[in-house]
Structure 1
Amino acid sequence: MRVVFTTWAWPTHLYALAPLAWACRAAGHDVVFASQPGLVGEIVRAGLPAVAVGTDVDTAGMVREYLRPGKTEGPPRAVAMLLAHAESMADDLTALVRDWRADVVVHDQTALAGPLAAAAAGVPAVRHLYGADLMSRVAPKLAGVFAPLAERVGAPGFDLCGDVTVDPVPASVQGPVTYRRLPVRYVPYSGATVLPVDLAETRERPRVCVSWGHTIAKVDAGRFPVGRIAAAAAELDVEVVVAISASQRALLGPLPDDTTVLVDQPLEPVLARCDLLVGHGGAASVLTALRAGLPSVLVPQLPDHAGHSARVAARGAGTVLGVEELPGIEEHIERLVAGDAVERRAAREVAAEMREQPAPSDVVASLAALIGGRAGAERVL
């Protein structure tokens, strides 16, 4: 089996796809990971063969527009960004899929050059979610927007949601779906790291981790509230841990002396030693917290973060606040660190559900069956 994995140049989207790409290679299949030039170095650091396609797009600049009030001319901002990435990548990706004789294209849910290239080459497209399904409900409305690009690459009748969807979100959190779903066990990955983390296994008080991903600090440092939240949490009878990247260190401001600051350390082992996540609602941090059985206090500021946060709240495994509610965040932290919090019980139930999801290696066999089924149907025709 020859598999092309693809996403646009945003590291966390690569991280979500990497475990399945590793599983394909471990099973003896041929894999290439295609993305815009800006992600090639990170793909190589993930131990995967990289191919550059298209040109880089100012993603941070386009996301920054989300945070500005008022409407703009043309399609909605999110649609404009998805189209810009697809237009950048589609021609080169289509050529790669054809010339390399790929059997299947695996794409993240927002990398819509993937299903276009697959349709143009006549091979299955496999959509890989990295969190809440943000696309299936709006895909029919996007068909007209993407039609000119589909015509350009020779992909009439394409489906933006692909032939099947690989989903790391457990069913009780994802909610009802209408597409063919391949569940997969969530495997946290956040780039090359060195273990162990600088955090003791045991603690005398509940331990609260405050972490805000990477996006908000990139697009608007003024909206990065980690320092304020850590200072507020320190007023409670809890131990506060701040997990940040090196580029975010200067944004924290003064912190209480007993605050633990972890820089560029993987979130998975950090949360395994904590009792609560306070975060921005990013897909990776949400799933990593649930995997550890931790409830969350989430303060989303972007549409996709709001979507992930809403699914956690709907499952009862956390609470969602607006930015304007940050001054009262202490009471929510205090309630959720309690051992009898209903959110804590729900998060543990989700963790057990996640452990029962099929491993990425099992999904590889399903992909091979998908290809075999498609080939058999074509022979019959």
Structure 2
Amino acid sequence: MDEALLRSLTPSVIAILVRRGADFAAAEDAVQEALLEAVRAWPASPSTGASPGRSPGRSGGEGPVRDPKGWLVAVAWRRFLDAARADTARRRREELVDREPGPGPAATTDDTLRLYFLCAHPSLTPSSAVALTLRAVGGLTTRQIARAYLVPEATMAQRISRAKRTVSGVRFDRPGDVATVLRVLYLVFNEGYSGDVDLAAEAIRLTRQLAAMTDHPEAAGLLALMLLHHARRASRTAPDGSLVPLAEQDRGRWDTGLIAEGVEILQAALARDRLGEFQAQAAIAALHADAPTAGETDWVQIVEWYDELVRLTGSPVVRLNRAVAVGEADGPRAGLAALAALDDSLPRRAAVAAYLHERDGDLASAARLYAEAAGKAPNLAERDYLTRQAARLNARLRH
């Protein structure tokens, strides 16, 4: 049984059931039952070989599955119909029995993007839309989503359940807001890029589709941003898994093809003169990618782009990143002055303060702040990196 294959097929199978008439919650339940059946029935490599006589929905592992997606669709649809027949309060669904498809391969069209739009339905709040999509399409667990939102797992479970109830019965004739879909895609990409769940490639694939089907310039901006970040992926960690900061990365390992594609897409988006936050972020990433060495980075222009981002978003996180850029462009004390206006509770503020204090020569304050930041780090790799920085400075202070 190929778990990666099951994970990749799940979103499109849910979307197919919803398109056929199942409400969202019922579709997800039926697909989960089909997945359990697949675990019991499928051999080790379901995507290879052929077994023309195998009947979808019957266990026994009598041979490989010719069409895994079609198998899941058939079994999930039958599970849905069984549940519909048993639920007398939903008798109208009995009419769907006559619409059960005959045997044959599933459609090759990609319904996953349509599922994104359903999860970004206007009736949902943006936070609920993101959470539901990360759960239904991204495949993240409720615990992972709760950690991203910094809320208890039970709270997130309730939020996702309410979102499912809200979109139950909603059809694809009312697509969600493009801006919400873009935020969802970016969160999925970042979750994959962190290494916790590898969804970066899927997020890029779906964003390509979205950019191709809409004239929204921010779709192109997000695609450019993803490509420029993804181009550096191989250099972000050392062989032992430890974090390598941007300034210390081996730029020879950056994917120049992805960089060139990202820059080309960004330039076309900027030429339309409809600037948005993803385009501005991509412009900053492009400036980093354009520098042959960290020392040759055009920090002055990066500060200007951060000024645009602050104007567009007002985000404290953007202001935090701007403080770093100001520290590089105008010196660490200018960066610390920009940082002083930000709340102490802002995530990663202590890490930024530590870096700027070290550059300013205040090693004692920097060591203390690195240790403080390590205690608040959102993942193990970042915590280990910050702990090493604190230890390095403490060793210097002792000698």
TM-score, normalised with respect to structure 1: 0.28
Larger radius of gyration: 2
TM-score, normalised with respect to structure 2: 0.28
Of Structure 1 and Structure 2, the greater strand share is in: 1
